[in-house]
Amino acid sequence: AAGSVGSVVRRFLAEYGSGTSSRLKVLDAYLLYVMLTGALQFGYCLGVGTFPFNSFLSGFISAVGSFILGVCLRIQINPQNKGEFQGISPERAFADFLFANTILHL
């Protein structure tokens, strides 16, 4: 069983490395970064308590929000999904991403 999990993971990584365009990989790296930041914040809060609560909330929600917007952008940019996003060009998706991020961080 451990072996099959390991082989599945290895297979996935190989396919991912070859199948996804570099643009998407860049985005994925960004998403990974955001997720790690959010997780670390949450872990810190669990560790040392919720003071100051405001700071924890703002940091965590910012991380989560950015992650979600990044995911949206990735979905919209992916050429394999072009059928579902007829009127939205990648440039438009990127512009939406920027705008939404601005509003989130306001």
Given the rule CB under 8 A, which residues bind other proteins?
22, 25-26, 29-30, 32-34, 36-37, 40-41, 44, 48-49, 51, 89-92, 94-95, 98-99, 102, 105-106
Residue nearer to other proteins on the CB measure, 4 or 91: 91
Closest to other proteins by CB, 34 vs 69, is: 34
Q: What ranges in the chain are assigned the alpha helix state H?
A: 2-19, 22-48, 53-77, 90-105
CA distance 5 to 10: 9
CB atoms within 10 A of CB 75: 13
- Residue 3 CB, nearest approach to other proteins (Å): 28
Nearer to other proteins, 68 or 104 (CB): 104
30 vs 63: CA distance, rounded Å: 11
